[in-house]
Amino acid sequence: MNALGLILALAVSFVGDSHGEVLGPMLARELRAAGVRTDVDARRGWGVLRFMRRDDLYLDRRRRPDVVVFALGSNDYGVRAPATHRYRPRAAWAIETARAAGARRILWFGPPAVDGSRGEREARVAANHDAVAELQAATVPPLGGEWYDSRPVTRGRWGRDGIHLTRTGYRAWAHQVACAVLEVPAP
């Protein structure tokens, strides 16, 4: 099978929070243009713990995704970052669920940068996103996932609330994710 055949056979499942409501469809369009089958599950306000407690991580096991992309972390635990030992079971559950669905690769994109200069609320969210990103960076790779820092590509691309992004910001983030899925260098 040639390289194009490998891409055409690739199936990707995307799981995200409110950022995923825009990021997921943009990613799906970019991947479908490369011939990749993609499905998206984005849930506003959901974090790993909520998916875990409800045992409700949608992955289409009939299609057996080759790659599962997580864009979670923004809602994992408000403004208090727990110790690694409390986050590890959450990430392990998500990664094990993805593997059970057939995923050979699990890509985890940390929360985006937040404009903490806009106010007290935004400053708290920015601090939480930074803490979650550091926690994920320490937790996800030892569990067999590939962790990516979303903050550099999203910094300065904020929408009205300073937390969510502009369409251009989401487009840049979707391109980062697509490059990782397709294993090509990002610009």
For residue 3, what pLDDT is reported? 47
> What is the per-residue DSSP string for 16-40?
ESTTHHHHHHHHHHHHHHTT-EEEE
Task: Tell which CATH architecture fits domain 3-182.
Answer: 3-Layer(aba) Sandwich (3.40)
In the predicted structure, residue 136 carries a pLDDT above the cut 70 = yes
The distance from CA 107 to its chain's CA centroid, rounded to whole angstroms, is 7
Mean pLDDT for 104-124 is: 94
Q: Where are the domains of the chain?
A: 3-182
pLDDT tens column, 162-172: 899 999 999 99
pTM here is 0.89
Helix (H) / strand (E) containing 89: helix 84-100
Mean pLDDT for 42-58 is: 81
- Name every residue whose Cβ is closer than 8 Å to that of residue 101 and which is 6 or more positions away in sequence: 13, 59, 60, 61, 64, 65, 68
CA dihedral 132, 155, 45, 178 (to 10 degrees): -90
Which of 22, 51, 27, 50 minimizes the C-alpha distance to 38? 27
Lowest-pLDDT range, 5-9, 57-61, 162-166, 178-182? 5-9
CB distance 49 to 91 below 8 Å: no
SS (HEC) of 2-15: CHHHHHHHCEEEEE
Question: Cα–Cα distance between 126 and 60 in angstroms, integer?
Answer: 33
Which of 161, 149, 146 minimizes the C-alpha distance to 73? 149
Q: How confident is the model at residue 60 (pLDDT cuts 50, 70, 90)?
A: low
In the predicted structure, residue 59 carries a pLDDT above the cut 80 = no
**What are phi and psi for residue 108, nearest 5 degrees?**
-120, 120
For residue 103, what pLDDT is reported? 93
**What is the average pLDDT score of the chain?**
86
Q: How confident is the model at residue 1 (pLDDT cuts 50, 70, 90)?
A: very low
pLDDT tens column, 75-101: 776 435 455 667 888 899 999 999 998
Q: Using a pLDDT cut of 90, give the percent of the chain over it.
A: 59
